[in-house]
Amino acid sequence: MPIIYERFEGAVADAAAPLLHLCRAVFPDFTDSYLLDRLGRLEEPLLWLAIEDGSWKGFKLSYRRGDALLYSWLGGVMPELRGQGVASELMRRQHADAAALGYRFAETRTRAANNPMILLNLRHGFQISGFENDTNGMPVVILRKPLG
């Protein structure tokens, strides 16, 4: 089945159920409230989807943080579709959109132990801009990319 890439055009809060389904499959030990507590409050969310045969198989969710910064919050691809460039394509589209919308930077945080995601970010032009421990004490790398 071909994979179709689409920007979600509705209110992201209306996508809570399918997004939760994806997050549970994509992230080990996902806590539903992590998504649900914030989903309805994101400023200008931008949601890109990878869809196969009508079902959501990958996503990339970002939102506005200030004048010029798009913050890339959450993303992932179902295990059975990994290694086929799906996350790359979602990121490419997210960044093209962001540049077209006038954002000058994208920023993201990635757990320091998540090599696949750090490599993916670096391949797409992110540069490491910091390192910190998150609220759970997990080490995270902060990455930033100039757009356009």
Ligand X SMILES: CC(C)(COP(=O)(O)OP(=O)(O)OC[C@H]1O[C@@H](n2cnc3c(N)ncnc32)[C@H](O)[C@@H]1OP(=O)(O)O)[C@@H](O)C(=O)NCCC(=O)NCCS
| Tokens 């006038």, located at residue | 102
Q: Does 22 bind ligand X (CB under 6 A)?
A: no
The residue within the footprint of ligand X, chosen from 33, 83, 136, 137 (CB under 6 A), is 83
Task: Specify the residue, 66 or 116, whose C-beta has the smaller distance to ligand X.
Answer: 116
DSSP type of residue 37: H
Instruction: Give the helix/strand (H/E) hosting 127.
Output: strand 127-133
Task: Specify the residue, 55 or 115, whose C-beta has the smaller distance to ligand X.
Answer: 115
Span interacting with ligand X, options 39-47, 94-102, 113-121, 135-143, rule CB under 6 A: 113-121
| Tokens 């939760």, located at residue | 20
Task: Specify the residue, 19 or 77, whose C-beta has the smaller distance to ligand X.
Answer: 77
Task: Specify the residue, 64 or 124, whose C-beta has the smaller distance to ligand X.
Answer: 124
Residues making contact with ligand X (CB under 6 A): 26-27, 74-77, 82-88, 110, 114-117, 119-120, 123
